[in-house]
Amino acid sequence: MNTRYFFTDKAPKPIGPYSQAVEAGPFIYISGQIPLHYESGEVVGDDIATQAKTVLTNLKAVLNVAGLDFTNLVKTTVFLTDLTNFAQFNQIYQQELGNTAPARSVVEVSALPRGVLVEIEAVAYK
C-alpha cells in the first residue's frame, strides 16, 4: 500500500516524530490537533471556546492541504481534560462543522500536551 504524508504551514508543526496527516488508500488519518497558533507555536486561549475554535481551525487547515474539508470527516476523537466543558465544546463543534456529523468519541483525559484543554484527532474519507 502506498502512503502519502501531508504537512501545511497553516497548522502547527508536529512537536514530535509524526506527520500532520497520512493518506492510506482512500482514508486520511489526521494526527491530534491542539490549540497552538500555527506560526508561533504558542497555546491560544485559556478557555474551552477559544481553544476548541483554534483546534478546529488547525484541523481544517490539515484537511485543506489534503484537498478535503469537514464534509470528508468520517470519525473524530475528542480528548477533553474536563468533561464539564463538554456542552460548551459541543456547541463550538456544531457551529464549526455545520451539518457535518461524523462519528465521534469524546473522552476525558488527565492531561494533554502543553496543558491544553482539548485535542482532536480525525479520520477523513477521500
Contacts 24+ apart (CB under 8 A), 13-20: 13/41, 15/41, 15/113, 20/62, 20/65
pLDDT per residue as tens digits for the range 56-77: 999 999 999 999 999 999 999 9
pLDDT score recorded for residue 106: 98
Give the three-state DSSP class for 100: coil
- Domain limits for position 19: 3-125
Cell 508536529 belongs to residue: 14
pLDDT score recorded for residue 105: 98
The C-alpha cell at 93 is 463543534
The CATH number of the domain holding residue 105 is 3.30.1330.40
Chain mean position to CA 63: 9
CA distances from 57 to 2, 44, 68, 93 (A): 28, 12, 13, 11
The answer, yes or no, to whether residue 1 has pLDDT greater than 80, is no
pLDDT per residue as tens digits for the range 93-103: 999 999 999 99
Considering its fold, how many domains does the chain have in total? 1
The answer, yes or no, to whether residue 80 has pLDDT greater than 80, is yes
The answer, yes or no, to whether residue 30 has pLDDT greater than 80, is yes
